[in-house]
């Protein structure tokens, strides 16, 4: 049985939410992101970031700005021993009809093709309803983190029987428990 991939939202999930972040110098990881990702990676999950970046389509930042922010996040994670397999982003404004803007499945399907990943049983972790709806669209499980904008979608998520957790680390622990794995000694920070 293959280990399902974990799709991660960027802003408000991996990093502290900043309105249309264009400056890599302002990147701050959310609490316990590296230990959470280490836990998931250690269990064999491919880690892939799927990010709506409507600020590009709205002219508020450039694609190069967004790529520099991604590179800074990757650098901060590598310093803590974590590598992300791949980064995908939708640069379109919400009013543009595209198949990549979450909750559409385009980015996840592209990752599946590019990396030969089976989407069945996958996880999508994010701070917005669109992340959970993406999980539905690809047959996965969506987990809402209440960091970033997560509190805004928590009522909807709970009313629709979606897991709601307070951090990426709690989401990783949820996945470990759901997969029937006892947490390892190193799974939680001391």
Confidence of residue 1 (pLDDT cuts 50, 70, 90): low
Q: pLDDT tens digit string along 151-174?
A: 999 999 999 999 999 999 999 999
Q: What pLDDT, on the 0 to 100 scale, is given for residue 146?
A: 98
State mean pLDDT over 24-31.
97
Q: pLDDT tens digit string along 100-146?
A: 999 999 999 999 999 999 999 999 999 999 999 999 999 999 999 99
Q: pLDDT tens digit string along 55-113?
A: 999 999 999 999 999 999 999 999 999 999 999 999 999 999 999 999 999 999 999 99
Residue 190 has pLDDT above 90, yes or no: no
Residue 185 has pLDDT above 90, yes or no: no
Residue 149 has pLDDT above 80, yes or no: yes
Parallel/antiparallel/unpaired status of strands 86-90 and 123-126: unpaired
State the pTM of this model: 0.93
Residue 42 has pLDDT above 60, yes or no: yes
Residue 179 has pLDDT above 60, yes or no: yes
Distance CA(182)–CA(177), nearest Å, equals 7
Q: What pLDDT, on the 0 to 100 scale, is given for residue 181?
A: 56
More confident residue, 9 or 188: 9
- The region of weakest confidence among 28-42, 137-151, 167-181 is 167-181
* DSSP per-residue letters across the chain: -PPPPEEE-SBTTTB---TT---GGG--BPTTHHHHHHHHHHTT--EEEEEE-HHHHTTSS-HHHHHHHHHHHHHHHHTTT---SEEEEE---TTS--SSSTTSSHHHHHHHHHHT---TT-EEEESSHHHHHHHHHTT-EEEEESTTTHHHHHHHHHHTT--EESSHHHHHHHHHHHTTPPPPGGGS--
Q: What pLDDT, on the 0 to 100 scale, is given for residue 2?
A: 84
Q: What pLDDT, on the 0 to 100 scale, is given for residue 160?
A: 95
Which domains are seen in the chain, by residue range? 6-179 (3.40.50.1000)
Residue 32 has pLDDT above 70, yes or no: yes
């Amino acid at each position: 049985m293959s280990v399902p991939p974990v799709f991660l939202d960027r802003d408000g999930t991996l990093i502290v939410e900043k309105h249309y972040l264009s400056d890599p110098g302002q990147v701050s990881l959310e609490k316990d992101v590296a230990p959470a990702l280490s836990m998931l990676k250690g269990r064999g999950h491919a880690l892939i970031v799927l990010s709506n970046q409507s600020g590009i389509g709205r002219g508020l930042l450039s694609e190069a700005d967004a790529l520099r922010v991604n590179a800074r996040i990757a650098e901060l994670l590598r310093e803590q021993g974590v590598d992300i397999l791949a980064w995908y982003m939708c640069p379109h404004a919400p009013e543009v009809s595209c198949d990549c803007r979450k909750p559409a499945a385009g980015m996840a399907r592209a990752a599946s093709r590019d990396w030969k990943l089976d989407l069945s049983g996958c996880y999508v972790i994010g701070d917005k309803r669109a992340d959970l709806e993406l999980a539905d669209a690809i047959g996965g499980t969506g987990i809402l983190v209440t960091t970033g904008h997560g509190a805004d979608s928590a009522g909807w998520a709970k009313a629709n029987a979606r897991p709601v957790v307070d951090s990426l680390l709690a989401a990783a622990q949820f996945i470990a428990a759901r997969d029937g794995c006892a947490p390892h000694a190193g799974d939680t920070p001391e």
